[in-house]
């Protein structure tokens, strides 16, 4: 279904049956499309945690760095970063979030992502750093406000807060006002918290270690202003790019080199 058709249906159904439209929108927003399982990319090893979470590991020794992808992403998206970190004597462990990749589950939201990061960190032991892209970027900052400890943090194309994300989703679904309010209420129940309490930029202000934010001016999924807001409230360093959008930023060599230099002074 293309975007125009989805918005048209959302506007019509949302006007006639706002509660029903909100339920459908909530399902669409919390049930990711799972990509087919693939063999690990060269240089990566498949890992499974004790409670079923899965992921990939680059490097077999050295300080550990935990990475978390975004919505409908996968651990393999961190291949370029994992290869660079392993070459410097670090380990990158990239999770498949719940409902993604080889990890169990059908539904997810930012709180579920954050809980998964905390759970994996408890099994990995001390973390040198955490890295997240998109929803994963917001989740690793949220996880740190909930007890995850890491010396350094990188958030790539991360949204600044759940309220704005939900408003953007409402517009994407074409929901009129009553349906939009019902949708947001259902998303809050699904997350188990009010959206206002999940302001990533404010939570990120609690971070103690260095923070690098990476965001592209041409990101059409999460506006560049979100990266600016997080940087302003946290004092984090903002690496601004152009022409990479939301996903290609994870593959750009210069960006990966800068993140690697921030995370991993050479050990060997």
Instruction: Give per-residue pLDDT as tens, 64-110.
Output: 999 999 999 999 999 999 999 999 999 999 999 999 999 999 999 99
Q: State both tokens at 239.
A: 């690496």
What CATH number is given to the structural domain containing 71?
3.40.50.1820
**CB within 8 A of 62, min separation 6: which ones?**
89, 90, 91, 267
Q: Return the closest-CA partner of residue 263 out of 100, 56, 61, 67.
A: 67
On whether residue 131 sits in a domain, the answer given is yes
Q: Which two tokens stand for residue 186?
A: 């259902």
Q: How many domains, the chain?
A: 2
Kindly give, in sequence order, each residue whose CB lies less than 8 Å from that of residue 17, ignoring residues fewer than 6 positions away. none
* CB-based burial label for 172 (10 Å; 0-12, 13-18, 19+): middle
- pLDDT, tens digit (0-9, with 9 covering 90-100), for 33-74: 887 777 888 899 999 998 899 999 999 999 999 999 999 999
Q: Are residues 210 and 133 in the same domain?
A: yes
Contact between 161 and 220 (Cβ < 8 Å) = no
Is residue 149 a contact partner of residue 126, using CB atoms and an 8 Å limit?
yes
pTM to 2 decimal places: 0.93
Burial of 3 (0-12, 13-18, 19+ CB in 10 A): exposed
Instruction: Determine the Cα–Cα distance for residues 166 and 215; give it in Å rounded to an integer.
Output: 20
The continuous run of DSSP H or E covering 146 comes out as none
CA distances from 137 to 7, 29, 125, 212, 268 (A): 27, 18, 20, 11, 29
Q: pLDDT digit string (tens) for 154-195? A: 999 999 999 999 999 999 999 999 999 999 999 999 999 899
Same domain, 132 and 179: no
Domain of 240 in residue numbering reads as: 49-161+199-263
136 and 181 in a single domain? The answer is: no
Whether residue 148 is found in the same domain as residue 256: yes
């Amino acid at each position: 279904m293309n975007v125009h058709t989805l918005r048209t249906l959302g506007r019509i159904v949302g006007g006639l049956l706002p509660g029903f439209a909100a339920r459908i929108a909530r399902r669409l927003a919390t049930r990711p499309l799972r990509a087919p399982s693939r063999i690990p990319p060269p240089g990566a090893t498949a890992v499974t945690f004790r409670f079923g979470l899965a992921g990939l590991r680059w490097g077999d020794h050295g300080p550990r760095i935990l990475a978390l992808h975004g919505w409908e992403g996968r651990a393999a998206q961190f291949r370029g970063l994992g290869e660079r970190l392993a070459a410097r004597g670090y380990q990158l462990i990239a999770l498949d979030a719940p409902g993604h990749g080889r990890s169990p589950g059908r539904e997810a939201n930012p709180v579920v992502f954050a809980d998964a990061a905390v759970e994996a960190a408890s099994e990995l032991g001390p973390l040198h750093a955490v890295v997240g892209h998109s929803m994963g970027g917001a989740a690793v900052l949220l996880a740190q406000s909930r007890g995850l400890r890491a010396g350094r943090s990188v958030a790539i194309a991360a949204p600044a807060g759940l309220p704005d994300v939900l408003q953007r989703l409402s517009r994407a679904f074409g929901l009129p006002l009553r349906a939009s309010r019902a949708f947001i209420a259902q998303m809050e129940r699904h997350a188990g918290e009010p959206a206002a309490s999940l302001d990533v930029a404010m939570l990120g202000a609690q971070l103690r270690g260095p923070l690098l934010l990476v965001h592209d001016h041409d990101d059409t999924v999460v506006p560049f202003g979100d990266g600016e807001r997080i940087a302003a409230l946290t004092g984090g360093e903002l690496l601004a790019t152009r022409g990479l959008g939301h996903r290609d930023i994870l593959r750009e060599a210069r960006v990966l080199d800068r993140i690697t230099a921030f995370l991993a002074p050479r050990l060997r």
